[in-house]
Amino acid sequence: MSIFDPTSGWNPLPWLQEKTLRALEEAARLVDLANEKDTAPWYAKELKRRAGALIGRLAPVVSLLHQVEDAASHDEWGAIRERGTFALAAWCKKHDVQDPAQRAFDLLAKEHEDGEAEAKAERHAPERDDLDDLRTLDLRCTIYGSLTRRLLHEDLPEAARRMLLWALSHLTLGDGPDVVSLSRRFLPTDIDLDPETTAAAYRCLIERGLIERVDDDADGDALRLRLIAEGFNESKQPLPPGEVTFGFPGARVGGKPTLGNELRVALPAAYLKTLLRWRFGDDDRKALGAALQAHLGPQRAFVEAIAIDDGGEPAVLVRLRYSWDEDDRDMTRALHEATLAWVRARLAPSKGTSPTQ
C-alpha cells in the first residue's frame, strides 16, 4: 500500500497532520535556540528570521489540515516566532491541534532536561529581575575572589591591572551581576592612561580571559564588559573584541585631564557686524580656531569649535577644553586678545584695496 496509490483506500490526512505538525515543532525549536543566552546576537537574529519564515508557511497548513480556521491567522500563531515551543504548546492546546499518532500530545514545553537546565544555571548570569537574590550575590563574590587572586598572582601589565580594578569597582553599578559599563571616551582619564595604552590594556584582558565584550554598540559611548570568574560564567560564543577607540581629542592637555567649557568673547560691535556681513562661514571658523589654538598652545587648551552669537549682545563663542586648575577669567582674556588680533588682521585692507570694498 502506498500513499501515492489513489486506489488503496488509505486516508493520507493523519499522516499529513503528523508530518506538518512535526515540521512546525522543529521550526519552533529553532526559535528556542535563538533565545538561548549563549547564542550570539547575529546568529539569534538569523535563526529567528529563518524560523519565522518556516512558521509563517507551516502554521496555516497545520490549521487547514486540522480544520481549525481561527488558528490560521497571524495573530494566533505569531507568538511562536518569538517564544518558540512554549507558544506552540499554547497554540496547540487552545485550538485542539494534536498529533494523531500520539493523542496525548505533549510538546515538551520544558526547553531542556533538568540536568542541562541546572548546568546552564550555574554558568550564566541571572536575569536583571533577579539582581538581589542569593545567586547574584554568590556570583559577584566569586568574581571578586577569582579576579583579585589573578591580580595578585598573574603577571599582568600595570595598565591592564588599572583597567581591571576600575571595572571591578563598577561591578555593583552594572545592569547584571557580572556586567559593567565603562565609558569609551573617559576611561583613559579615569585610569590615568593615554588612549593607546588603554586600548592595549583592553586587548590584554580579553586575551587573558578576564573580560568579555557583551554587546556590539560601536556607535555609543558605553562599553559593556563581562567580568569572568574562570569556570563559572564564560560565554560559549563570546563576541570578538573588535577595534575599540578610547578617549577623544582634547581629553588631556599638558598631561592633565580636562573639562569642557564655552567662553564668550565680547568684541566691539563694528567688528562683529563686519564679521556677520562676511557671512562668517566654515573656513572662517576653522581659521579663527587655528589662530586661537596657536595663541593658547597645545599644552594649555584644546579649541573644539567657534561660533558667532548675533543675539542681544553679539559675541564670539569659543568651545574648548582645559585643565581644572585653569582660571576661566585668564582663559577668556587670552581668547579676547587672540580674537581681536585675528579680526584686525582680517579687516586690514590688502595692498591696493579700498577699506570700503
* Identity at 333, one-letter amino acid code: R
Domain 252-347 part of CATH 2.30.30 = no
Distance of alpha carbon 84 from alpha carbon 92, whole angstroms:
12
Distance of alpha carbon 271 from alpha carbon 278, whole angstroms:
11
pTM: 0.53
| Residue 83 clears pLDDT 50, i.e. is over it | yes
Average pLDDT across the chain, whole number = 81
Q: Count the alpha carbons within 13 Å of 189 in the hemisphere toward its beta carbon.
A: 17
Secondary-structure class of domain 117-227 per CATH: mainly alpha
Per residue in 168-197, is it b (16+ CB within 10 Å) or e — as a string?
Answer: beebeebebbbbbbbebbebbbbbebbbeb
Q: Cα 153 to the chain's mean position, in Å?
A: 32
For residue 97, the model assigns a pLDDT of 86
Distance of alpha carbon 347 from alpha carbon 353, whole angstroms:
11
For residue 124, the model assigns a pLDDT of 40
Neighbours of 212 (CB within 10 A): 20
| 3 state SS of 264 | strand
Sketch the domain layout of the chain as residue ranges.
13-111, 117-227, 252-347
For residue 69, the model assigns a pLDDT of 85
What is the pLDDT confidence band of residue 311, given thresholds at 50, 70 and 90? low
Q: Is 305 left (phi over 0), alpha (psi -120 to 50) or beta?
A: beta
Phi, psi of 101 (to 5 degrees): -85, -10
Neighbours of 341 (CB within 10 A): 13
Q: Which long-range contacts (CB under 8 A, 24 or more apart) does 19-23 make?
A: 20/58, 20/61, 20/62, 20/65, 21/62, 21/97, 21/99, 22/99, 23/54, 23/58
**Nine-digit cell string for 64:** 487547514
What is the pLDDT confidence band of residue 111, given thresholds at 50, 70 and 90? very low
What is the pLDDT confidence band of residue 208, given thresholds at 50, 70 and 90? very high
